[in-house]
């Protein structure tokens, strides 16, 4: 599953799946309980996970989905630290996952969120990047057929 449907919501812990969109908020589902609820945009801010990127030293960014994919691929050789890890442990982990991250623009809080969100989604088996690969292959095939 791609990160398109996942959002983080201010003042609410965890990651939620977006089910529906209204002009005054979102209908979200809790992945643990599968309960759905309306969350007002007047009280909360929504950040889709697919819109998040990490700054790199070459003045570009790496999408969160690419970072999560690398984290998942290297999970056995580089275990995920605790999301309450100390600064040197958290940054050491990120250095192994994304060696060219921008040390001036990526803060400890960002790294802790990255670890927390990945752990949350991975524990619930919500990270499946095979679907993403299939979508890309389908798009490439369609492009070749039209040319």
Average pLDDT, integer, range 27-49 = 96
Instruction: Tell me the pLDDT of the chain averaged across its residues.
Output: 89
Q: How far is residue 17's CA from residue 4's CA, in Å, rounded to a whole number?
A: 9
Percent of the chain with pLDDT over 70: 87
pLDDT at 83 over 90: no
Q: How far is residue 24's CA from residue 41's CA, in Å, rounded to a whole number?
A: 6
Task: Report residue 105: phi and psi, to 5°.
Answer: -110, -10
pTM of structure: 0.84
Report which of 135, 124, 20, 128 is spatially closest to residue 68, judged by C-alpha positions. Answer: 128
Architecture, CATH, for domain 52-135: Orthogonal Bundle (1.10)
More confident site: 140 or 23: 23
Q: Is 2 helix (H, G, I), strand (E, B) or coil?
A: coil
Average pLDDT, integer, range 102-118 = 96
Q: Tell me if 47 sits within 8 A of 26, measured CB to CB.
A: no
Per domain, the residue ranges of the chain are 3-49, 52-135
Average pLDDT, integer, range 12-36 = 96
pLDDT of 112 reads: 95
Sort 78 into a burial class: Cβ within 10 Å, 0-12 / 13-18 / 19+.
Answer: middle
Q: Give the up-direction half-sphere exposure of residue 109: CA atoms within 13 A in the CB hemisphere.
A: 1
> Which whole-number Å values give the CA distances from 50 to 3, 5, 42, 72, in the listed order?
5, 8, 22, 16
Percent of the chain with pLDDT over 90: 80
Q: What is the pLDDT of residues 70-82, one digit of tens each?
A: 999 999 999 999 9
- Provide the token pair at 101: 């991250």
């Amino acid at each position: 599953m791609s990160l398109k449907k996942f959002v983080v919501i201010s003042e609410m812990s965890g990651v939620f799946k977006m089910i529906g969109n209204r002009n005054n908020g979102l209908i979200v589902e809790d992945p643990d309980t599968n309960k759905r609820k309306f969350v007002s945009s007047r009280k909360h801010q929504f950040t889709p996970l697919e819109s998040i990127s990490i700054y790199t030293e070459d003045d570009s960014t790496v999408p969160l989905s690419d970072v999560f994919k690398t984290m998942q691929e290297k999970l056995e050789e580089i275990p995920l630290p605790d999301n309450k890890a100390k600064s040197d442990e958290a940054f050491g982990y990120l250095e192994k996952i994304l060696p060219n991250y921008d040390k001036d623009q990526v803060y400890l809080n960002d790294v802790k969120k990255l670890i927390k969100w990945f752990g949350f989604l991975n524990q619930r088996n919500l990270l499946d990047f095979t679907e993403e690969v299939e979508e890309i292959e389908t798009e490439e095939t369609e492009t070749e057929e039209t040319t």
